[in-house]
Structures are given as structure tokens and as C-alpha cells.
Amino acid sequence: MAKVAGFLGFLKRNTTGSTYVSIPQLLTVNPVGSERNLIDVSAHGDPWADFIVGRQEGRAVDCTLLWDPADAQHAAIKADYDATTPVARNYELQHPAWTTAYRFPALVSMWEVEATDGGGMEAHFTLKIITPGVSSVTPS
């Protein structure tokens, strides 16, 4: 298995049509995926609980940027959050060594800024993955 040093992953945001643009100054991206809720199907009196898995639900993906309000992609993410009628956008999680990317539609469900001890400003936002969830695609 090839080894790669450092944080080389990057996130792209769909702007129009099939155009994806990298989000610059990305500090962190949490895991991208889904989970299945459990449904309790235990019978009354069973000594153990029995479960089956339910529908998939997209995860909330927490991201951190070194905030630059003059950057077009940073401003666009903030505008998506502020929109009166939220718009779902496709995002792609990529790595330069990968032959596939992970594409997912998401809504910006949280936004906040933070002044850090190091003198920078960070923006924290959450992407809530929605249907149809995460798919493997050829990197855009």
C-alpha cells in the first residue's frame, strides 16, 4: 500500500452544471458517509433486545476553513447557509493519489466563525448529507 504524508485531501463544491471548484484553505473535514438507524423488533418477554437496520441517514460532515470572506468559495458556502430557501449542492471529497472521489449532495446546516489564538479566523460549517447519499465517482 502506498503511503502519503500530510493532509492532502481536498473538498470541491459544485458551482454550476458539472463544474466543481476546490474550496481553498481547508483545515479539516470530518468523515463522509451514512449510518443506519436501528429498529427494535424484540418480542415482549425476550431476555435480549433484537434489532434490524433501518434506512440510511447521511452523516453531518463538520469542516473548518481558514476563513477569508473575500474568497468566492468561502462566501458562497456562507451564502448557501444564509439562503431563505436552502439549496442542496454536490460536494466531492478527493485526494490527489485516488482514482475515485466521493460525491455527496448536502445542505449547509451550521455556520460559525472563531478568532483563534494564532491570530487567524476560522469558519466552521456542517454539511448534512442528504439523499441519494455518497457515491464513488471519477474525480472532477
In a domain, 1, yes or no: no
74 sits in the region (left: phi over 0; alpha: psi -120 to 50; else beta) called alpha
The phi and psi torsions of 77 (rounded to 5 degrees) equal -65, -45
pLDDT score of 22 more than 90:
yes
Number of domains in the chain: 1
In a domain, 15, yes or no: no
**Cα separation of 113 and 124, whole Å?**
6
In a domain, 62, yes or no: yes
Residue 96: closest CA among 31, 10, 3: 10
pLDDT in tens, 111-127: 999 998 877 899 999 99
pLDDT score of 32 more than 70:
yes
Percent of the chain with pLDDT over 70: 95
Mean pLDDT, the chain, rounded, equals 91
Q: Taking residues 75-95, what's their average pLDDT? A: 95
In a domain, 91, yes or no: yes
**Cα separation of 20 and 97, whole Å?**
18
Cα end-to-end span (Å), the chain: 24
In a domain, 105, yes or no: yes
Provide the residue range defining the domain that includes 133: 22-32+50-137
Instruction: Please calculate the CA angle 96-29-95 and round it to the nearest 5 degrees.
Output: 5
In a domain, 83, yes or no: yes
Question: Do residues 28 and 106 touch, judged by C-beta distance below 8 A?
Answer: no
In a domain, 64, yes or no: yes
pLDDT in tens, 43-61: 999 999 999 999 999 999 9
The CATH number of residue 67's host domain is: 3.30.200
Question: Do residues 110 and 129 touch, judged by C-beta distance below 8 A?
Answer: no
Kind and range of the H or E element at 22?
strand 19-22
